[in-house]
């Protein structure tokens, strides 16, 4: 039996949320072994088990089918976005796509979830993500350090406000890079934020 690897497969960010088509689900089924495991994760990705020697070909076919394919494991996950119920332009769909392209699949000390909400309703629950982005009219607020698990679950803290769409990717990547450089082993991002302090991270983000 050959070696297998997991791929993180998700639909593209779009109005209406995380929507697979029947054709896309069928494609996933035809490209995997009948005994392969497919796991639905809490970050709106399917972990699909594929043979290592076929991973490049399978990735290409899934992308042709309109799916996003990223590494599984200790990386930044594909952007967990809202349903853009206020419309593409008002909720910032284009900005979310650009942000996702920049951050998805970056190797990190522990898996990172980054949430995006197109308005203050926050239906994608950005305040329980490692990094949360909330569109507030024409600018963005960024939150850090959300922790959804355990008896000490906590909301993310407000890092900065008034971030423009031109600044957004740079600020998020700067935070991720700082975490990668200064984390202690497999330190969770929420604990990293507490150790570094919000004030230090605000200086880095600025």
pLDDT at 197 over 80: yes
Beta-bridge partner residues of 133 = 116, 142
- pLDDT, one tens digit per residue, over 75-124 is 999 999 999 999 999 999 999 999 999 999 999 999 999 999 999 999 99
Confidence of residue 178 (pLDDT cuts 50, 70, 90): very high
Angle at 138 between CA 113 and CA 19, to 5 degrees: 45
For the segment 114-159, what is each residue's pLDDT rounded down to a tens digit?
999 999 999 999 999 999 999 999 999 999 999 988 888 899 999 9
- Per-residue model confidence (pLDDT) at position 61: 96
| Res 152: pLDDT | 83
Predicted pLDDT at 1: 54
Does residue 204 have a pLDDT over 60? yes
Enumerate residues 6+ apart whose C-beta is below 8 A from 87. 15
Domains of the chain, each with CATH number or no CATH: 4-71 (3.30.70), 80-205 (3.30.413.10)
């Amino acid at each position: 039996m050959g070696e297998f690897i997991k791929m993180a497969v998700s639909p593209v960010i779009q109005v209406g949320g995380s929507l697979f088509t029947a054709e896309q689900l069928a494609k996933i089924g035809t490209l995997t072994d009948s005994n392969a495991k497919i796991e639905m994760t809490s970050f709106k990705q399917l972990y699909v088990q594929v043979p290592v020697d076929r991973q490049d070909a399978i990735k290409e076919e899934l992308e042709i089918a309109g799916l996003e394919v990223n590494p599984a494991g200790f990386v930044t996950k594909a952007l967990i976005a809202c349903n853009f119920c206020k419309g593409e332009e008002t909720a910032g769909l284009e900005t979310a796509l650009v942000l996702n392209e920049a951050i998805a699949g970056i190797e990190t000390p522990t898996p990172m979830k980054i949430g995006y909400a197109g308005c203050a309703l926050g239906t994608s629950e950005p305040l329980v993500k490692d990094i949360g982005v909330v569109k507030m009219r024409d600018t963005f607020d960024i939150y850090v350090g959300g922790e959804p698990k355990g008896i000490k679950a906590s909301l993310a803290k407000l890092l900065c406000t008034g971030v423009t769409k031109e600044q957004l990717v740079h600020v998020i990547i700067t935070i991720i890079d700082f975490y990668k450089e200064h984390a202690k082993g497999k330190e969770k991002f929420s604990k990293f934020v507490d150790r570094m302090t919000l004030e230090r991270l605000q200086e880095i983000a600025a």
